[in-house]
Amino acid sequence: MYIQWFPGHMTKAIRMMEDNLRLVDALIYVIDARAVSSCINPLFSRLTSGKRVLYVFNKCDLVNSSELARWCDRFKREGKDFVKAVGVSGDCSQIVAGLKALMSDKLEKYAKKGANVSVRAMVVGVPNSGKSTIINSMIKRAKAVTGDRPGVTRGKQWLSVDGVDFLDTPGTLWGKFEDQSVAHHLAYIGSIKDGISDVSELACDFAQELQTICPSAFNTRYGITDFDGTSYELLQEIALKRGFKLRADEPDTERAAKTLIDDFRKGRLGKIMLELP
Ligand SMILES: Nc1nc2c(ncn2[C@@H]2O[C@H](COP(=O)(O)OP(=O)(O)OP(=O)(O)O)[C@@H](O)[C@H]2O)c(=O)[nH]1
Ligand SMILES: [Mg+2]
């Protein structure tokens, strides 16, 4: 199945981000820890060049810490600054601290001059990675609108706390996914609008991948072990186990498909990282 989603509001958002680049000192690049490499937007290389960048591995509650450590090692080796976060925990003070450390020379210079200046950071990332949630968590107020679907933030919004001004931006993707596994991973984590792809086909592709990377997840959630049929048959099995039936007792595979994807997104299948370094 071919997946593509680049609506007009993203082109507009990228233009807005480019226009506002000169106003900011740094970028906070929010990445969903379940799909680190797919969350790296090739269009952002234009934004990040010449800017200091603090990468945030967000949604760390949904991944295994030993697997995440491998990404941390990789970023360290590449000289990238990063922090780990759980946006929904309500405490993201490590991001503010990380940003201040990244900007310490500038802050010191201004402090010597007696100037009281704020650090300005643009918060960027693919849709639904948790940008607005993280900002709310840092400012300790639910000011930025959040939601469990992509495309919640539209337009720009400045929010301030403790000597830092954050520019929240809409989640953006890129014009063409050359690598369709990237598009699939973004769809699984909810960064691509549901309805862009057929949910049953998406769930079949996901089930197939999950059988390779974490087959025990089917046992954990649905009590299915050692399944060796097709991924469509697996959806039928999930429907049967969960009692999802159509008329004439047919298994409701579409409902099973939605359930499987939703269970993954909410972490109910266990801690699953789709991509390792
Ligand atoms: N489990 C978990 N969920 C999170 C975390 N951070 C954010 N979320 C959830 O992810 C969803 C998306 O959060 P948002 O803050 O709206 O994401 P966004 O990046 O601003 O999305 P757009 O504005 O659409 O680009 C919401 O349902 C949040 O509750 C986290 O660390 N862990
Ligand atoms: Mg948002």
What is the residue-level pLDDT of the chain in tens, covering all 277 positions? 999 999 999 999 999 999 999 999 999 999 999 999 999 999 998 888 889 999 999 999 999 999 999 999 999 999 999 999 999 999 999 999 999 999 999 889 888 888 888 899 999 999 999 999 999 999 888 888 899 999 899 988 899 988 899 999 999 999 899 999 999 999 999 999 999 999 999 999 999 999 999 999 999 899 999 898 999 999 999 999 999 999 888 999 999 999 999 999 999 999 999 999 9
- Tell me, yes or no, whether 125 lies in a domain: yes
Helices (H), the chain: 8-20, 44-48, 65-77, 93-102, 104-112, 131-139, 180-188, 199-213, 216-222, 231-242, 253-265
If you measure from the C-alpha of residue 190 to the centroid of ligand 1, how many angstroms do you get, rounded to a whole number? 10
Q: Do 16 and 98 belong together in one domain?
A: yes
Provide the β-strand partners of residue 132.
none
Within-domain flag for 176: no
The strand pairing partners of 123, in sequence order, are: 28, 168
Domain count for the chain: 2
CA atoms within 13 A on the CB side of 19: 9
Shared domain check, 140 and 202: no
pLDDT attached to residue 143: 84
User: Any residues with Cβ below 6 Å from ligand 1, and which?
Assistant: 58-59, 61-62, 86-88, 125, 127-133, 146-148, 150-153, 170-171, 267
**This prediction's pTM:** 0.95
* Integer Cα distance of 219 and 216 in angstroms: 5
What's the pLDDT score for residue 114? 84
Predicted confidence at residue 69, as pLDDT, reads 98
* CA of 135, closest atom in ligand 1: 15
Sheet holding 119-125, edge to edge: 81-84, 52-58, 26-32, 119-125, 164-168, 157-161
Ligand 1, atom 11: closest residue by C-alpha? 148
Domain extent at residue 253: 198-265
Q: How far is the CA of 178 from the centre of ligand 1 (A)?
A: 26
Answer with the one of 122, 148, 168 that is the final residue of a domain: 168
Q: Final residue of a domain: which of 168, 184, 207?
A: 168
